[in-house]
Amino acid sequence: MFIGSEALGRIERRGPTRYRFNYSEEALRKYRPSSIVLSASLRLRSEDFTPSESAPFFEGLLPEGAIRSAISQALRLNERDGFGLLAALGSECAGAVAVLREGVMPRAPGSSRIRSLSEDELGRLIDDLPTHPLGVTGSPEGARLSLGGVQQKLVLARDESGRLGLPLDGTPSTHLLKPEPHAYEDLAVNEAFCMRVAATAGMEAASAEVAEVGSRRCLLVERFDRRQDDRGFVVRLHQEDMCQALGLLPTAKYEQSGGPSVARVIDLLRGLGSAHAALGIRNFVRALVVNFLLGNSDAHGKNFALLYDPDAEVGLAPLYDVVSTAVYPQLTSQMAMSLGGVDDPDRVDLATWARLADEAGIGRVIGGVVRRQAGAILRATDRVAKEARAEGWHRPVIDAIVDVCRRRVDQLTD
């Protein structure tokens, strides 16, 4: 198992979803004991990690639900065989992790292999996503990569000409293309709007835009865990979601299912040992405000992450997967993480945020942070709605999100 080109350790099979991870001798010599190298839940030590300790991180690299099932069928594997799926798909995961068979080395930066796609080919891959999620097929030429989550997406890379293509043989992907599902009208516009609002309000957020591929509207997202080095080569940045960092399986991503709470995430950020821990906590609170005001009740433990930038200290990753679920009546309004003991967004007021501050031990200045953030988000919704009209991607869902935001700002000022 590698991070970038560094051999970090080995995963041994102890059953279909039972992994035993151990760090390499090189890693043990290079880093201090208890360092966070792979995961905050797998701090550096010489002893092997038990299957129950190892599983949350490695299961968290794999897709979930129907996507995992479809990929397993394409590869003729049992969907419970997480080890087999990682062996087949692990050359391109979230972050900088590469899980490779013994004796296989990661592809060197700059030696990319991308199969360019015409718009017709891209359209056919989108149509095939229900049976070949992420672009994974049983063919040797098919994409071999793993990415967590339950939403259909195509994992792509830009070639030297700027065209989108399929990354092959462990080539780093750079973009995700998410076709709009028929069940949720204008979902791509919804997410593009929410992500731009967050960025306009001063938050670090993944870049996302609406793209038309044939007759399908899609969301094109630039990966925040990739960047170009000074030679122009795409390199991977290590990341892990909050479930992985807290040692929780993906099935426990919702607080009501035993998943991360706001207080647990803040404790994790506080315990990273970073000089910028206070900034990370502040940005997390601002992210909570963004999700609340825009009506995203699905901000669960896998939708927040840590980013391990080699040029900076570990910190909160840019926002991603921010979608207003409130505009879809068929979706639950129960928030994935409660705020001050409240999981009904209609009952959230400034007193709720004050209770949250007490529970998480973050002081009483939160009221000012929430009010300032609320004003910034409300102004950003109006500005981005105008931009969407001028750029030609405005849809009625945007007006619905703006209405949600105004109502929730009012809750905080009554």
Encoded tokens for 391: 């750029």
∠ CA(158), CA(223), CA(150), 5° rounding? 110
Phi, psi of 175 (to 5 degrees): -140, 155
Segments of the chain scoring below 70 in pLDDT:
15-17, 110-111, 133-150, 274-275, 414
What is the distance, to the nearest Å, from the Cα of residue 305 to the centroid of all Cα atoms in its chain? 7
Give dist(CA 246, CA 122) in Å, integer: 37
Q: Look at residue 160 in the predicted model and tell me its pLDDT.
A: 75
∠ CA(385), CA(379), CA(351), 5° rounding? 125
Encoded tokens for 350: 């400034």
Strand ranges for 141-184 from DSSP E: 154-158, 164-167, 175-179
Size of the chain in residues: 414
Q: Which fold has domain 238-413?
A: 1.10.1070
Per DSSP, the three-state class of 259 is: coil
Q: Other C-beta atoms within 10 Å of 276: how many? A: 16
> Read out DSSP for 80-118?
T-HHHHHHHHTTS-STTEE---TT--PPPTT---EEE--
Contact in structure between 90 and 102 (CB atoms under 8 Å): no
Q: Other C-beta atoms within 10 Å of 46: how many? A: 10
Contact in structure between 209 and 220 (CB atoms under 8 Å): yes
Give dist(CA 374, CA 380) in Å, integer: 10
Residues 139-157 pLDDT 10s: 444 444 444 555 788 889 8
Helix axes 51-59, 82-89, angle to 10 degrees: 50
Per DSSP, the three-state class of 192 is: helix
pTM comes to 0.92
Q: Catalytic amino acids? A: 298
What is the distance, to the nearest Å, from the Cα of residue 251 to the centroid of all Cα atoms in its chain? 15
Residue type, 320: Y
Give dist(CA 219, CA 181) in Å, integer: 11
Phi-psi bin for 309: left (phi > 0), alpha (psi -120 to 50), beta? beta
For the chain, the C-alpha Rg in angstroms (whole number) is: 21
